[in-house]
Amino acid sequence: MNYFDDLIGQSHVVERLNSAVKAANSGEESQEMTHAWIFTGPPGSGRSSAAIAFASALVGSQLPHPDVEVLKSEGLSIKVDEVRELLARVSWAPSMAQWRVVVMEDADRLTESAANALLKAIEEPGLRTVWLLCAPTLHDILTTIRSRCRHIQLHTPADEEVAKFLISKHQIAPKMADFAARVSQGHIGRARHLATNEEVRNRR
């Protein structure tokens, strides 16, 4: 099963993540796999999708999965109490998979004290815990956390790549797919919404 099918125009990312999954499954010490990653990229580039696809590939199953924890920020910031609760939940060994994976979708919203609590966990990783942090840019993350993570940079996919995805994955007519891709300027979620929702198109 290919967990990375929905990552549009990010072949460089897919290649690196596939190598990491292979290394993680082999159980041997290797440069490809590490316990902490940061996914950055402009809005709509798919940084959260990439992290979630990577988490799925590591546990060998689509989400939800008992060994994958996805933290989405409801408010403007992620507070230290939320991070402490999260750390308590993920301190156990994985129950079904080889790894316990934590996806933090808005790591740029960590307060300073929350970031410091997270840093401690990343500095002293559990044997089988993998951290996947998402943020618009590297500068949105505490320097000390950045220095302990491997960086994955996504970019805005080209209009043609977005259109191709809409045609093959959502059976959108080519003309409509081209229009949605162009108007959404490479934002995949927006393009999909536009192509499949007549009311949204009329408002445009």
Output the pLDDT for position 29: 66
Please, what is the end-to-end C-alpha distance for the chain in angstroms?
A: 37
pLDDT greater than 80 at residue 157: yes
What is the model's pTM?
0.90
pLDDT tens digits, residue range 26-55?
877 678 899 999 999 998 889 999 999 999
115 Cβ contact partners less than 8 Å away, ≥ 6 residues apart: 141, 142, 145
Q: What is the pLDDT of residue 119?
A: 96
Mean pLDDT of the region 167-176 = 92
- Residue 122 to residue 131: CA distance in whole angstroms: 8
Q: Is the pLDDT of residue 107 over 70?
A: yes
Alpha helices (runs of H) in 40-173, residue ranges in sequence order: 47-59, 80-89, 112-123, 143-146, 159-170
d(CA 78, CA 2): 32
Radius of gyration of the chain (CA): 18
CA angle 166, 170, 173 (to 5 degrees): 65
Q: What is the pLDDT of residue 17?
A: 96
Cα–Cα nearest to 107, from 51, 54, 162: 51
pLDDT of res. 176 = 93
Residue 1: pLDDT over 90: no
pLDDT at 125: 73
Q: Does residue 13 contact residue 45 with C-beta atoms inside 8 Å?
A: no
> According to the model, what pLDDT value does residue 186 have?
84
**Residues 142-166: what's their mean pLDDT?**
94
pLDDT band at 73 (very low <50, low <70, confident <90, very high): confident
Q: Are 70 and 58 in contact (CB under 8 A)?
A: no
Q: Is 21 exposed, middle or buried (0-12, 13-18, 19+ CB in 10 A)?
A: buried
